[in-house]
Amino acid sequence: MKIAVLAVQGAFIEHEQVLGSLGIECIELRKAEDLDQNYDGLILPGGESTVQGKLLKELGMFERLKKQIEGGMPVLATCAGLILLASDIENDDRQWFGTLPVTVRRNAYGRQLGSFYAEQEFAGIGTIPMTFIRAPYIASANPEVDIMAEVDGHIVGVRYGHQLAISFHPELNSDRRIHEYFIRMTAAAKNTCPDRFCGQR
Ligand code: GLN
């Protein structure tokens, strides 16, 4: 299994380190040619969604990535990545990939709560640490979208088929369960799962 990490801006190295610690091969997507490689899943890291979206267009990567996601490529999107996937951004006229039918609010926690930490239940995983950095939350979601986590009454994690999108940064804590969950999702899509993740199931 090979996972591609979008590496044009933001916190991509931390995701690569987590994948490395789990023994999963990863590649970086920095330019259009990188999209020619074979990979089984995609991580869209946190950072600045506007910068990432513009760079993807300038680098000629945007349309191909959008097609891959529409075609069923498993995606883990964190923070800015969630904004890139969202069909609607409440406080911004832009839309990027638009493959996830949710309305997000950017920088939803305001200045005072720019960054904070919580521990909350994530469906199918249990209680996990959640680090939020100028995070969005999901103001509303299409009924077909599974709500995976909420903090203080706001949705911070969803799954819509092959798209797993969260407001927080799982790569900044030592807990690996979000990445492991995504690896199982990717393995299920590929129809094989490494023993150490699915062997006992
Ligand atoms: N505030 C950023 C944005 O709007 C997201 C922050 C993050 O990815 N940690 O794109």
CA of 155 to the centre of ligand 1 (A): 16
Tally of helices (H runs) and strands (E runs) in the chain: 6, 12
How do residues 54-78 score in pLDDT, each as one tens digit? 999 999 999 999 999 999 999 999 9
How do residues 109-122 score in pLDDT, each as one tens digit? 976 667 999 999 99
Q: Is a pLDDT exceeding 50 seen at residue 8?
A: yes
Q: What is the DSSP letter of 172?
A: G
The answer for 72, left when phi > 0, alpha when psi is -120 to 50, beta otherwise, is: left
What are the residues whose beta carbons fall under 8 Å from the beta carbon of 50, sequence distance 6 or more?
94
Most ligand 1 atoms within 8 A of CB, residue of 50, 79, 117 to mutate: 79
- Whether 104 is in the pocket of ligand 1, judged by its Cβ within 6 Å, is no
| Closest-lying ligand 1 atom to the alpha carbon of residue 133 | 9
How do residues 149-201 score in pLDDT, each as one tens digit? 999 999 999 999 999 999 999 999 999 999 999 999 999 998 766 666 665 44
pLDDT band at 135 (very low <50, low <70, confident <90, very high): very high
Radius of gyration of the chain (CA): 16
How do residues 15-54 score in pLDDT, each as one tens digit? 999 999 999 999 999 999 999 999 999 999 999 999 999 9
